[in-house]
Amino acid sequence: MGKRIVIKIGSQVLCDLDGALNRGVLSNLVDQIADLRDAGWQVLLVSSGAVAAGSNLAGEQLQRISDPVARKQVLAATGQVRLMETYRELFEDRGLTVAQVLATKSDFQTRRHYLNMRGCVEALLSAGIVPIINENDVVSVTELMFTDNDELAGLLAGMVNAELLCLLSAVPGVYDGDPEDAGTRCIERWDDERYKIEEIVSRGASALGRGGMHNKLAIARKVAGLGTEVIIADGTDPEVLAKILGDQATGTRFPVTGDTSPAKKWLASADGHAAGAITVNQGAAEALLDRNHLASLLPVGIVAVDGYFDRGDVVRILDTQGNVLGCGQAGYDHEEAARLIGQRGQKPLVHYDYLYLMD
């Protein structure tokens, strides 16, 4: 298996000032990705731009649609064709075949769905095909939506155990203050001991807006903690990927700060749609959070069971103040969990191997 890299390209990189696809930028990025393939990398491309690509296709027909959600769905459905056709042509010129993969959060919700999607992506990579992955904006509304494609790219990096995740946007990286100030610098290497997300975001401003950069930082730190290095860099730089993989500094690099099992990487992606919640007492909370010892969640430490869940479902784990400690895969259903509250000598509700604790 070759080295794996997930590359996310934002719509601000792909589109010109009028909001249409910038074929020159796309062509350059495709050439860079093809060069990575020649160097032995397996590449997953997460691409925004479908809605923007559709903006020039629907024309007068779009005026017939008054509902804003339906309008976005139509733009995505028409634009995805244009986006993929453009990618197909450009990659074909470099002798590469591409495949379209559309995802929603439901694809990460259960272990079975997650493994099915991972199997598809693994098969494409094994066949030498470049998967181009995007959120399925046609059906992704409300609870099915990712925060953005950064979140999707982060989940995929964990799914395929990628060595590197590149978040390419319209900014050179994370600044240590307001980019308009003369003394402000781009942070080359993120250090949790030195930098705090809230301080960086509150001091700075960027083309992404404060909300966009806050989300990028949160995802980058989370993915680095799961075992994948992350870089936030300027996707309009014609040599950005060569710089990232070479010795030349570019963007902001988030070094790996931890590692975890494939099952826990799935759980890290599933914490947003847990089927139920388990409240634990102080002793259980301290035992679970003690990084020096491996602890499973036993019924003796449970004080409350909320929601309806079956064996194998994801459940949130809370302390008595309602703080989320993590999530895990339930070893039995809500009825048995409620019946065994506080009892000693029982099997774990959540075994350590299927327990993911928040940062």
Span between the terminal Cα atoms of the chain, in Å: 30
Same domain, 291 and 248: no
Residue-wise pLDDT tens digits, 291-311: 888 899 999 999 999 999 999
Q: What percent of the chain has pLDDT over 90?
A: 50
Using the 3D structure, point to which of 263, 295, 319 is the last residue of a domain.
Answer: 263
Same domain, 214 and 177: yes
Same domain, 166 and 84: yes
Tell me how far apart the alpha carbons of residues 15 and 42 are, in angstroms, rounded to a whole number.
Answer: 26
pTM for the structure as a whole = 0.86
Same domain, 11 and 80: yes
- Please determine, for residue 198, whether its predicted confidence score (pLDDT) is greater than 60: yes
Chain-wide mean pLDDT for the chain?
A: 86
Same domain, 246 and 282: no
Same domain, 259 and 343: no
pLDDT score of 139: 64
Most distant CA pair in the chain, distance: 69
Domain-embedded: residue 303? yes
Contacts of 348 (CB under 8 A, 6+ apart): 296, 297, 298, 331
Question: What Rg, from alpha-carbon coordinates, does the chain have?
Answer: 22
pLDDT tier at 209, thresholds 50, 70, 90: very low
Same domain, 141 and 212: yes
Using alpha carbons only, what angle is made at residue 164 by residues 158 and 165, rounded to the nearest 5 degrees? Answer: 70
pLDDT score of 208: 46
**What is the pLDDT averaged over residues 185-199?**
77
Same domain, 137 and 20: yes
Domain-embedded: residue 269? no
Domain-embedded: residue 268? no
Tell me how far apart the alpha carbons of residues 240 and 260 are, in angstroms, rounded to a whole number.
Answer: 29
Same domain, 104 and 203: yes
What backbone phi and psi angles, to 5 degrees, belong to 100?
-95, 130
The beta-strand segments (E) located in 228-310 are 229-234, 252-254, 276-280, 302-307
Same domain, 157 and 291: no
pLDDT tier at 203, thresholds 50, 70, 90: low
Same domain, 294 and 200: no
Q: What percent of the chain has pLDDT over 70?
A: 88
pLDDT tier at 140, thresholds 50, 70, 90: low
Residue-wise pLDDT tens digits, 218-268: 899 899 999 999 999 999 999 999 999 887 889 999 999 888 888 888 888
Tell me how far apart the alpha carbons of residues 200 and 205 are, in angstroms, rounded to a whole number.
Answer: 9
**What is the pLDDT averaged over residues 42-46?**
97
pLDDT greater at residue 167 or residue 105: 167
CATH number of the domain within which 301 lies: 2.30.130.10
Tell me how far apart the alpha carbons of residues 112 and 352 are, in angstroms, rounded to a whole number.
Answer: 20
Both tokens of 293, joined, read: 């010892």
pLDDT score of 172: 85
What backbone phi and psi angles, to 5 degrees, belong to 306?
-125, 145
Reference 289, options 280, 299, 278; nearest CA is 280
Residue-wise pLDDT tens digits, 47-84: 988 877 777 665 667 777 878 778 878 888 888 888 99
Tell me how far apart the alpha carbons of residues 339 and 321 are, in angstroms, rounded to a whole number.
Answer: 23
What backbone phi and psi angles, to 5 degrees, belong to 309?
-140, 155
Residue 218, CA distances (Å) to 154, 174, 210 in order: 10, 12, 12
CATH number of the domain within which 68 lies: 3.40.1160.10
- Secondary structure letter of residue 24 according to DSSP: H
Domain-embedded: residue 243? yes
pLDDT greater at residue 146 or residue 102: 102
- Please determine, for residue 85, whether its predicted confidence score (pLDDT) is greater than 90: yes
With b for 16 or more beta-carbon neighbours within 10 A and e for fewer, the 256-276 pattern comes to ebeeeeebbbbbbbbbebbbb
Using the 3D structure, point to which of 215, 237, 263 is the last residue of a domain.
Answer: 263
- Secondary structure letter of residue 131 according to DSSP: E
pLDDT tier at 315, thresholds 50, 70, 90: very high
Q: How many CA atoms lie within 13 A of 26 on its CB side?
A: 24
**What is the pLDDT averaged over residues 193-200?**
69
Tell me how far apart the alpha carbons of residues 28 and 14 are, in angstroms, rounded to a whole number.
Answer: 11
pLDDT greater at residue 214 or residue 41: 41
- Please determine, for residue 205, whether its predicted confidence score (pLDDT) is greater than 70: no
Residue-wise pLDDT tens digits, 155-170: 999 999 999 999 998 8
- Please determine, for residue 18, whether its predicted confidence score (pLDDT) is greater than 70: yes
Long-range pairs for 54-60: beta carbons < 8 A, 24 or more residues apart: 54/78, 54/79, 54/80, 54/82, 55/19, 55/20, 55/79, 56/20, 57/82
Burial class, 232, CB count within 10 angstroms (exposed 0-12 / middle 13-18 / buried 19+): buried
**What is the pLDDT averaged over residues 319-331?**
92
311 residue type, one letter: R
Using the 3D structure, point to which of 263, 282, 317 is the last residue of a domain.
Answer: 263
Same domain, 197 and 288: no
Total count of domains within the chain: 2
Domain containing 331: what range? 274-357
